[in-house]
């Protein structure tokens, strides 16, 4: 755990969150400022700063996250599709420096990515 990391504090329960999923490696919770009817953030419990910090040593966390994402999507009723996004670094406007994947769905999303 990184003591100054917002999402590490959420994972630890020091900051409340609306949890939608948890296992030994993965935590998922509702985004505080949803941009779609369903907007869930999926994070590794191990602190990884961003997609830029994925290595052979920690990439299993990413695999676990992508195994969990379809389960969350199904539980949220996203039968017509959804989008998975990770923002990495300044140009992508990453605001929380703990790797996280946004699941967005529940409506037809804009077709442009940027």
Task: Kindly state whether residue 93 participates in binding ligand DGP, applying the rule CB under 6 A.
Answer: yes
Task: Kindly state whether residue 12 participates in binding ligand DGP, applying the rule CB under 6 A.
Answer: no
Active-site position among 39, 98, 100, 102? 100
Of 56 and 113, nearer to ligand DGP (C-beta) is 113
Buried b (16+ CB within 10 A) or exposed e, 57-79: eeeebbebbeebbeebbeebebe
102 included as an active-site residue: no
Q: Which of residues 56-75 bind ligand DGP (CB under 6 A)?
A: none
Total residues at interface with ligand DGP (CB under 6 A): 14
d(CA 81, CA 108): 9
d(CA 19, CA 113): 27
Catalytic site positions: 100
């Amino acid at each position: 755990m990184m003591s100054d990391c917002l999402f590490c504090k959420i994972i630890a329960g020091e900051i409340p969150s609306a949890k939608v999923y948890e296992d030994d490696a993965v935590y998922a919770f509702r985004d505080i400022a949803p941009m779609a009817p369903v907007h869930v953030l999926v994070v590794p419990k191990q602190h990884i700063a961003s997609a830029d910090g994925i290595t052979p040593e920690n990439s299993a966390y990413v695999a676990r996250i992508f195994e969990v994402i379809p389960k969350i999507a199904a539980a949220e009723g996203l039968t017509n599709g959804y989008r998975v996004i990770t923002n990495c670094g300044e140009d992508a406007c990453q605001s929380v420096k703990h790797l996280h994947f946004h699941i967005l769905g529940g409506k037809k999303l804009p077709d442009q990515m940027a």
